[in-house]
Amino acid sequence: MTRIEEIDAALQAIRPGWPFFIAEVRALIDSRVESLITQNNEETRGRIKALRDLMNLPEALEAERTCILAAELPDEGSAL
């Protein structure tokens, strides 16, 4: 299986449940932000960042897919 196929399969698999998953992730972020406000903790800050990165997973996969496809396209000037 190519990376493009893996990305396509992952995106297809996560789409149906993504809104529900994101609601849970947002709730986790909100609770950690409250904790961070009362107690400035680098570990909590890191967890919030990781959760935010997770929220951006579909966009990150789409960007990776776009880069791979762009790299596979032949250069217009190299055909000659």
pTM: 0.78
The token pair at 43 is 């570990």
Q: What pLDDT is recorded for position 64? A: 97
Chain Cα centroid distance, residue 39: 28
Contacts of 34 (CB under 8 A, 6+ apart): none
Only one residue has tokens 């990776």, namely 64
Q: Which tens digit of pLDDT belongs to each residue from 24-38?
A: 999 999 999 998 889
Q: Which tens digit of pLDDT belongs to each residue from 35-80?
A: 888 998 999 999 999 999 999 999 999 999 999 999 987 765 555 4
